[in-house]
Amino acid sequence: MKYTFLGRTGLKVSRLCLGTMNFGPRTSEEDSHALMDQALEAGINFFDTANRYGVHAGVGSHHGHTEEIIGRWWAQGSDRREKVVLATKLYGEMGSWPNEGKLSALNIKRACEASLKRLQTDYIDIYQMHHVDRDTPWEEIWQAMEQLVREGKILYVGSSNFAGWHIAKANEAAKRRNFMGLVSEQSKYSLNERTIEMDVLPACEDYGLGVVPWSPLGGGLLGGVLRKIDEGRRASEGMQKAIDKHRSQIEAYENFCQEMGEKPADVALAWLMNNPVVTAPIIGPRTHAQLTGSLRALDITFTEEQLKKLDEIWPGPGGAAPEAYAW
């Protein structure tokens, strides 16, 4: 495994982050525990979850189920908790009563304590805001986060799905309070979704935030989807529409990966890690084979010609703003 610092912090995390959103809804608790054990064996020490993960149509599903699965895994001992850098999130509504969501000081306090209880731990390494709250002032948010840091309940604060100007506004407000502010941003980022290159990536680079991309395989489009269909796997209606829209690009991409002698999913992950602002893409394996396969991406390197070809297949917005659309 390869490791890097999370943004401007002294915290070392693995170059791949284990996403847990499938734990509960798609992956049984037993299999989820086995995947986390396998991740540690592979050297992955960076796990991501959220307080709302765990809901599906089955019996016993509920918000917080995924955190509970992780908590019961930690309770097995063998230094599992000590080996993991855990990032969880708050923002979404956890109930129908007022103040059970978003980023008021009251909900930040309650949500953190509830996550700690479900996770069976005394602290959260990286407490992430799952979305920007346009109704709550930064003075209130940072006061609440500072209190959690003083109490030892959280160590770092991160954001998710923030725009570049949100990151700037948040960290300038933190600076006025002599608080560290945001250290990471979790954004939707992949070869076929490069919007954040305009503003979010430049903001993260300037403020020293580590970028943690979610949906690094473009919802499956970059995972060798055409080959899988040829092998008899059925695509959902939504996936089929996406394939029809991007078929020529996907064909060119899968041919490019074949010429490289690499799997499309591995190339997509490696391309993200080639960006120095990116800390670790989030992978969401459902099987041991998928987790093992993702490790190959750590060893893939690109020539300048190959990177140029990928830009031709999956064009970005044209760089950072304003040059992306103006002179």
Q: What is the DSSP string of 113-128?
A: HHHHHHHT-S-EEEEE
Mean per-residue pLDDT, 83-96: 96
- 273, with CB counted inside 10 A (0-12, 13-18, 19+), is buried
CATH number for the domain harbouring residue 152: 3.20.20.100
> What is the pLDDT averaged over residues 193-222?
97
- At residue 194, what is the residue type? R
Residue 238 scores a pLDDT above 80:
yes
Domain residue limits at 72: 3-222+263-302
User: Does residue 154 lie in a domain region?
Assistant: yes
Do 92 and 55 touch, CB atoms closer than 8 A?
no
The pLDDT score that the predictor gives to residue 260 is: 97
pLDDT attached to residue 60: 62
Alpha helix (H) ranges present in the chain? Answer: 29-41, 65-74, 80-83, 105-119, 138-150, 164-176, 200-207, 225-230, 237-260, 264-273, 288-294, 304-313
Q: What is the mean pLDDT of residues 16-25?
A: 95
Domain count of the fold of the chain: 1
User: Does a structural domain hold residue 192?
Assistant: yes
Residue 191 lies in a domain: yes
Choice among 3, 53, 91, 156 that is catalytic: 53
Residue 269 φ then ψ, to 5°? -65, -45
CB 23 within 8 A of CB 69: yes
Residues facing residue 127 across a β-bridge = 88, 157
For residue 242, is it within any domain? no
The answer, yes or no, to whether residue 58 has pLDDT greater than 70, is: no
Q: Scanning the structure block, which residue is given the tokens 């069976």?
A: 120
Distance CA 268, CA 257 (A): 10
Model confidence at 249: pLDDT above 80:
yes
How many CB atoms are located within 10 Å of the residue 113 CB?
13
Please give the mean pLDDT across all residues of the chain.
95
Q: Which residues pair with 193 in a beta bridge?
A: 190
Question: Per-residue confidence at 239, pLDDT binned at 50, 70, 90?
Answer: confident
Would you state the pLDDT for residue 235? 77
Model's pTM, two decimal places? Answer: 0.95
What confidence category does residue 59 fall into, taking pLDDT thresholds of 50, 70 and 90? low
- Rounded to a whole number, what is the largest CA-CA distance in the chain? 58
Q: What pLDDT was estimated at residue 57?
A: 53
pLDDT band at residue 313, thresholds of 50, 70 and 90? very high
pLDDT of residue 232: 75
| Range name among 48-62, 81-95, 277-291 with the lowest pLDDT average | 48-62
First to last CA, the chain: 42
Share of the chain above pLDDT 90, in %: 89
Give the C-alpha separation, 44 to 67, whole Å: 18
pLDDT surpasses 80 at 2: yes
Has residue 297 been placed in a domain?
yes
Mean pLDDT across 176-192: 98
Known catalytic membership, residue 189: no
Write out pLDDT tens, residues 121-149.
999 999 999 999 999 999 999 999 999 99
In a domain, 293, yes or no: yes
Evaluate whether residue 278 is within a structural domain: yes
Residue at 319 is within a domain: no
